[in-house]
């Protein structure tokens, strides 16, 4: 599904990712952990072709198609969804307006009645208030509310690959459980893949990973199963890096 090959990325002439290789298969969940500033968010931004993040070497492909030379909206259309660490506020545009535009873009001939019903169901599924539907996108919302709000978009866009950048930041325990469970339900139905960036193993109680990667200085330092994440939680990154470097 997702293949990152020998990827080097620079931001403002600073090298962030350095010969990064990563493969996420169909229906798989991969986790990336790493200290602050290791380049975790940069991976997501490079996948989504953020204009500030310059790919100087390597390729990113999705379902055997090279996407590293494509524009962000084209990548999104291929079926990749990025839930940012701090979702952007878009004043003046409501969720309903954005999602109706998405539906038109997909050439879905849904009546306004069907569309409203779908959004109402999505709110119920996500345990969010129906007033979100006509709320301006992420405007004046808390960190946790923004994450929930982004899930509404996810439900409408129906991606095949979901990039979750610190979903757990800003979410209370109940909301984390609720969103994780609905995400797993979505994954089961759609056989989607998930790349999740996190600092805490709590989220992995709900979203069970197939593979855990530790990022250090812009490349994958080590990969393993859930036991690697538990080890990091117990011992910290510096201990893990020290031990492996001896």
For Mg ion, the binding residues (CB under 5 A) are 40-41
Find the binder of ligand ADP among 1, 7, 30, 41 (CB under 6 A).
41
Nearer to ligand ADP, 16 or 137 (CB): 16
With CB under 6 A as the contact rule, the residue among 4, 24, 31, 39 that binds ligand ADP is 39
CB 20 within 8 A of CB 220: yes
Among 11, 90, 98, 139, binds ligand ADP (CB under 6 A): 11
Q: Strands across the sheet with 161-165, in order? A: 80-83, 161-165, 193-197, 29-33, 211-216, 219-224
Answer for the pair 189, 212: CB distance below 8 angstroms, yes or no: no
CA dihedral 160, 71, 163, 112 (to 10 degrees): -60
Task: Provide Rg for the chain, Cα atoms.
Answer: 18
Residues forming beta bridges with residue 61, ordered by sequence position:
3, 66
Asked if 4 contacts 22 with a C-beta cutoff of 8 angstroms, the reply is yes
Stretch that binds ligand ADP, among 8-16, 64-72, 88-96, 231-239 (CB under 6 A): 8-16
Determine which residue in the list 2, 8, 28, 42 makes contact with ligand ADP, applying CB under 6 A: 42
Partner touching 36 among ligand ADP, Mg ion, none, CB below 5 to 8 Å by kind: ligand ADP
* Of the residues 34, 79, 159, 170, which one makes contact with ligand ADP according to CB under 6 A: 34
β-pair partners for 183:
none
Whose Cβ is closer to ligand ADP: residue 214's or residue 228's? Answer: 214
Q: What order do you get walking across the sheet with 14-24 strand by strand?
A: 14-24, 2-11, 53-62, 65-66
Q: Going residue by residue from 44 to 83, which x/- string records binding to ligand ADP, judged by CB under 6 A?
A: --------x-------------------------------
Residues that bind ligand ADP (CB under 6 A): 11-12, 16, 34, 36-42, 52
């Amino acid at each position: 599904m997702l293949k990152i090959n020998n990827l080097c990325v620079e931001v403002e002439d600073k090298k962030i990712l350095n010969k990064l290789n990563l493969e996420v298969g169909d229906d798989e969940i991969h986790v990336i952990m790493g200290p602050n500033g290791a380049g975790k968010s940069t991976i997501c931004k490079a996948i989504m072709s953020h204009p500030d993040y310059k790919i100087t070497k390597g390729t990113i492909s999705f379902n055997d198609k090279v996407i590293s030379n494509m524009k962000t909206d084209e990548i999104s259309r291929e079926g990749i969804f990025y839930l940012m660490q701090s979702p952007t506020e878009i004043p003046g545009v409501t969720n309903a307006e954005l999602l109706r535009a998405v539906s038109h873009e997909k050439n879905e001939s849904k009546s306004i009645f069907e569309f409203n019903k779908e959004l109402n169901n999505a709110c119920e599924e996500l345990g969010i208030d129906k007033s979100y539907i006509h709320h301006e996108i992420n405007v004046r919302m808390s960190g946790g509310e923004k994450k929930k709000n982004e899930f509404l978009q996810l439900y409408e866009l129906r991606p095949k690959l979901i990039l979750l950048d610190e979903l757990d930041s800003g979410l209370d325990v109940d909301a984390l459980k609720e969103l994780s469970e609905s995400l797993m339900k979505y994954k089961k139905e759609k056989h989607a893949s998930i790349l999740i960036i996190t600092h805490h193993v709590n989220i992995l109680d709900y979203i069970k990973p197939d593979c855990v990667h530790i990022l250090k200085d812009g490349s994958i330092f080590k990969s393993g199963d859930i036991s690697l994440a538990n080890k990091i939680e117990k011992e910290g990154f510096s201990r893990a890096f020290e031990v492996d470097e001896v």
